[in-house]
Amino acid sequence: TEEALELLRVHRQFDEAVKAVQGGETVDPDDVPGPPPPLTPKPPAPQAAQPPQQQQQQQPAAQPAAAKPSASGGGLAGELAARQAAYKQLQTKAQEAGDSGKARRMGRILSQYAEAVAAVRAGGPTAAGYDFSSLPPPPGFGPLPAAAPAAAAKSAGSSGASAGAAAAAAATAMGGKAGAQLRVLMQRQQQYKLAAVQAKRTGDMATAKRMLGYARGCEPMLQAAQAGLPVDLAQLPPLPGESAAPAAAAAAPAAAPSAAVICEVSELPKELQGNALKDPEAVYDALEKTLKEKLALAEENARRFKSMGQIATADRWAKLGRSATADLDYLLGQRRLKRPPPKFNFIWQSVSAVRCNPDLGENTLEVKVLNGISLPLPEGFKESDLETQVKIELPISTESPLTQSTGWVKASANPSYDFATRFEVNRKARSTARVFKTRGLKFDVMYRRGFLKKDGLLGSATMKLEDLETQCTLHRGIDLMDGRKAVGGRLEVQVRLREPLSGAQTDQVREQWLLIEHTNQELPPSRQASASRAGGSRAGHPQGSVPESSAYVLQYEISLLKPHAGTNSKAAEAVRGLEQRLAQHKQLLANCGEAEKRQYCSVLQQLSATYAQHAKSALQEKDRGKAEKFLKKKKEADREFQDVSSRLR
């Protein structure tokens, strides 16, 4: 009876405390009594001599609500679920009674329990590091057991397995390389999610968002792996504190040499979507342009990473460059032979890239005026009367600033200028950095006032260039002003440098990469007889095609390597391969008719132009030795063209 009265007094204290909190007063948590001690039943006097086994059997049934087990019976996860259900009932009752304060309080507690449940499902260090003692127990429940973190970490495997049961079953059923890759991807995705939760708890929201993005980025790779396609596990970004993704190294034997994360149709260039694919010449132009851009990007990144001492990354870019070169050579060969465009795919490559614009010179600043947006109309003008031009001024020198002007665009308040110009600036000079930070680029939008009248100023815009310190491309929309007064309308402009003023910087990027499918074509009926006579001498060459390399260039390459073949096994192997190619080349050319030899002359002309372009690129990179080799190959291709064409006359 005394114990019951004491509990009743505590109950009244809780009622007073709740009313005080609802009234806006503060309550010291230290004054709040703790939970009541567990009740122990009185053993009946007549049965005092019961065996110890029966007493132990009765004890669990006599436990009070303070040790109330979870309805789900799932260990720590079940305990949390039971407490969540209890708080949800309290929240519902408070809402029905119109007690909004209590309902909000229950909602906050429920959010804490939701975080705890998420930590348990994540498992590992996330669950082990969670403070479960901070969770307030609902009425009738005691505190969570002291071993909650360990239990949470231990239960991670079961909860994670249930979350990905379908994918795990697919990985087990698949087996082989595909199954191994799928299992590695599932594990890596889970690690990204754990890292995101940990970063969020420490307040590092940038890392949390990045890890969550990596986890979502695994979905296309998982879909590809489940479909049986090979995936490049080296693309998986590293976790915080890792220099490289260990998953890729662990599964290196199972990884494919190239990625298979295929781009969606909507992600492809517009020139290679929909009706554009119906025009073969347009498809060839778009593929050739894309491959040349990728080749230039790969060569630039390979050169820069090599100069920075990152040999592994440089080798990967060099491999991508070789792939693009092979695809480009094959594509040009198919085009010369008037064949339909080959099949192609765009895939995502996750690579480290130097932030730069390789098409620009070291001291070149490119300025593009793209569009005018809702330009204001001068008084008395209609849109059909408006004719505008943009003047660009870069005040590198106050005495003689650098200036350029776009062309005139008529009858539009939203003109498309599409104008690009380049200024030469000394990026290492202090005056350049000072102008970029303080003055920037000035754009004056001029309009024609009429016959024999001076052009009027519609508005001016200034673009500060201080962001070029850390970026190499700025794309902005800037407002038109008249002094400090906005006149309405904007200009869309873009400014580019070869690399940021602070120097080359690297980023982890996802790059669209073009792959061309190489196939051997069947011979036309008119040449099947000659092909059968040629027999196996055409091994290594597509049937029905002329040689796609120069015999004289092959001989030149052999002459470069032969002096080293006696002491270098790799050089000797390369010489043997080149000699075999040269023999097949000569045999194939011997079986060609006059029409095919004329096509071969076109091949030689194209090779000459390609070597000239490579030599020019090497000179821009200040690699004189490489440029001389390409120029020598160009001369050999030209010499063979003269010899072959003279025999056709």
Note the pLDDT tens digit of each residue in 224-269: 777 766 677 777 887 776 544 444 433 433 333 333 455 555 566 7
Dist CA 373 CA 384 (whole Å): 16
Q: Which of 257, 237, 256 is nearest to 247 (CA)?
A: 237
Of the pLDDT bands very low, low, confident and very high (cuts 50, 70, 90), residue 391 is very high
Note the pLDDT tens digit of each residue in 552-568: 988 888 888 888 877 87
- What 3-state DSSP class applies to 65? coil
Of the pLDDT bands very low, low, confident and very high (cuts 50, 70, 90), residue 526 is very low
Comparing 70-84, 321-335, 394-408, 615-629, the range with the smallest average pLDDT is 70-84
Q: Which of 552, 633, 551 is nearest to 584 (CA)?
A: 551
Torsion sign (Cα): 71, 77, 79, 84: negative
Q: In 402-520, which residue ranges form alpha helices assigned H by DSSP?
A: 430-438
Of the pLDDT bands very low, low, confident and very high (cuts 50, 70, 90), residue 530 is very low
Note the pLDDT tens digit of each residue in 462-512: 998 888 888 889 999 999 999 889 999 999 999 999 888 887 777 777 788
CATH superfamily of this structure's domain 364-498: C2 domain (2.60.40.150)
Q: Give the model's pLDDT for residue 158.
A: 44
Comparing 21-25, 43-47, 96-100, the range with the smallest average pLDDT is 43-47
For residues 207-229, b (16+ Cβ closer than 10 Å) or e, as one string?
bbebbbebbebbebbbebbbeeb
State in Å, rounded, how far the first CA of the chain is from the last one: 125
Note the pLDDT tens digit of each residue in 53-101: 444 444 443 333 333 444 444 567 777 888 888 888 888 888 888 888 8
Average pLDDT, the chain: 75
Amino acid identity of 519?
A: T
Comparing 73-87, 162-176, 232-246, 522-536, the range with the smallest average pLDDT is 522-536
| Residue 27 pLDDT exceeds 70 | no
| Residue 529 pLDDT exceeds 50 | no
Of the pLDDT bands very low, low, confident and very high (cuts 50, 70, 90), residue 148 is very low
Dist CA 219 CA 182 (whole Å): 11
Q: Which of 133, 131, 197, 187 is nearest to 157 (CA)?
A: 187
3-state helix, strand, coil in the chain (%, to 5): 55, 15, 30
Amino acid identity of 316?
A: R
Note the pLDDT tens digit of each residue in 103-146: 888 888 888 888 788 777 766 545 555 667 677 888 777 666 54
Q: Which two tokens stand for residue 278?
A: 């119906």
Q: Give the model's pLDDT for residue 241.
A: 60
The answer to whether 336 and 609 have CB atoms below 8 angstroms apart is: no
The answer to whether 350 and 236 have CB atoms below 8 angstroms apart is: yes
Q: Give the model's pLDDT for residue 417.
A: 93
Of the pLDDT bands very low, low, confident and very high (cuts 50, 70, 90), residue 222 is confident
Q: Give the model's pLDDT for residue 130.
A: 64
Q: How would DSSP label each residue in 175-220? A: -HHHHHHHHHHHHHHHHHHHHHHHHHHTT-HHHHHHHHHHHHHHHH
Of the pLDDT bands very low, low, confident and very high (cuts 50, 70, 90), residue 36 is low
Residue 431: alpha-carbon gap to chain centroid? 37
| Residue 187 pLDDT exceeds 70 | yes
Contacts of 83 (CB under 8 A, 6+ apart): 70, 113, 135, 137, 138, 141
pTM of the model: 0.38
Q: Which of 148, 141, 20, 132 is nearest to 89 (CA)?
A: 141
The answer to whether 339 and 521 have CB atoms below 8 angstroms apart is: yes
Torsion sign (Cα): 540, 546, 549, 551: positive
Q: In 227-310, which residue ranges form alpha helices assigned H by DSSP?
A: 246-250, 280-307
More confident residue, 285 or 536: 285
Beta strand extents in 500-602 (DSSP E only): 506-516
Contacts of 402 (CB under 8 A, 6+ apart): 393, 394, 395, 396, 423
Note the pLDDT tens digit of each residue in 591-610: 777 777 877 887 888 888 88
Comparing 321-325, 374-378, 475-479, the range with the smallest average pLDDT is 321-325
C-alpha triplet 369, 374, 378: angle, nearest 5°: 100
More confident residue, 647 or 22: 647
Cβ count near 181 (within 10 Å) = 28
Q: Give the model's pLDDT for residue 261.
A: 53
Dist CA 640 CA 636 (whole Å): 6
| Residue 445 pLDDT exceeds 90 | yes
Residues in the chain: 649
Of the pLDDT bands very low, low, confident and very high (cuts 50, 70, 90), residue 177 is low
Backbone angles phi, psi at 65, to 5 degrees: -65, -20
Of the pLDDT bands very low, low, confident and very high (cuts 50, 70, 90), residue 178 is low
| Residue 344 pLDDT exceeds 70 | yes
Report the run of H or E that residue 450 belongs to, with start and end. none
The answer to whether 72 and 82 have CB atoms below 8 angstroms apart is: yes
To which residue do tokens 């009541």 refer? 36
Cβ count near 632 (within 10 Å) = 15
Dist CA 602 CA 590 (whole Å): 17
Q: Give the model's pLDDT for residue 389.
A: 95
Half-sphere exposure of 199 (CA within 13 A, CB side): 18
- What 3-state DSSP class applies to 394? strand
Q: Give the model's pLDDT for residue 121.
A: 73
The answer to whether 412 and 383 have CB atoms below 8 angstroms apart is: yes
